[in-house]
Amino acid sequence: MTNNEELYDAILNGRLETAVAVTRQMLAAGADPHGLIDHSMIRAMEEIGARFEAGKAFVPNLLMSARAMKGALELLRPMLKGGNASSSGKVVIGTVKGDLHDIGKNLVASMLEGCGFEVVNLGVDVSSERFIEAARTEQADIICMSALLTTTMSYMKEVVAAVRTSGLDVKIMVGGAPVTEHFAQCIGADGYSSNANAAVTLARRLVLG
């Protein structure tokens, strides 16, 4: 088994210690952190999700995979740098109300931080009031919202409407597995991206205007 396969397997099977050990080993050998995320870690989360959907995995399996993914991701966090040292802008980010998925959102937050944005991470289950209050007090340039459930993504529409009504001068970015470009346009968001790398490019574009 290659190291990439071992990492994939460890996350898929929820083995935290192995996931962390293999990640550490691969980094020491000079592996690219983005490669680990894209080729092993996200693929493993997709597979466990597919198994869950097919009734071949259950919530405890999702939790264990998430725990292993988070452990490995923690090692990569300081290395997710994109080169821009000065502040590119300020971002308030959170997973919307009713939704507890935070792995992808935290990945986006880490990438933005690594690429020079100041990031205020509001966590999960974030209401429109909290998004607005934080954006106002932090004088944020962008609000980033994440949703992983088809039942919670509709809440993004409420947040966008509340932000527009509040009169705040802030851009809104949305993302998460069920979210699409079309959905983002329909709810009046300023931008959507399907992954953390593209989120940085989009955020830069939105801040520069």
* Residue with the two structure tokens 């709810």: 187
Q: Does residue 196 bind ligand B12 (CB under 6 A)?
A: yes
- 28/177 with CB nearer ligand B12: 177
Q: Does residue 101 touch ligand B12 according to CB under 6 A?
A: yes
Q: Which of residues 146-175 bind ligand B12 (CB under 6 A)?
A: 146, 148-151, 173-175
By CB under 6 A, which span of 16-24, 27-35, 61-69, 156-164 interacts with ligand B12? 61-69
For ligand B12, the closer of residues 45 and 115 by Cβ is 45
Residues 186, 189, 192, 196, CA torsion sign = negative
Cα distance between residue 30 and residue 35, in whole Å? 11
- Pick between residue 107 and residue 187 the one whose CB is nearest to ligand B12: 107
**Shortest Å distance, C-beta 21 to ligand B12:** 21
Which residues, in sequence order, are CB contacts of 137 under 8 Å at separation 6+?
none
DSSP 39-103: IIIHHHHHHHHHHHHTTSS-HHHHHHHHHHHHHHHHHHGGG---S--S--EEEEEEEBTT----H
User: Which residue is listed with tokens 């934080």?
Assistant: 134
Q: Contact between 42 and ligand B12 (CB under 6 A)?
A: yes
Q: How far is the CB of 34 from ligand B12 (least distance, A)?
A: 10
Q: Is 89 in the site for ligand B12 (CB under 6 A)?
A: no
Tell me whether residue 29 or residue 158 sits nearer to ligand B12 (CB atom): 158
115 lines the binding site for ligand B12 (CB under 6 A): no
Report if residue 13 touches ligand B12, rule: CB under 6 A. no
Interface residue with ligand B12 among 9, 52, 75, 130 (CB under 6 A) is 52
Tokens of 69: 């993914």
Nearest to 170 by CA among 145, 198, 135: 135
Structure tokens at 6: 């071992």
User: How many CB atoms neighbour CB 197 within 10 A?
Assistant: 18
Closest CB to ligand B12 among residues 28, 189 = 189
- Chain residues binding ligand B12 by CB under 6 A are 42, 45-46, 48-49, 52-53, 59, 62-63, 66, 98-105, 107-108, 144-146, 148-151, 173-178, 193-196, 199
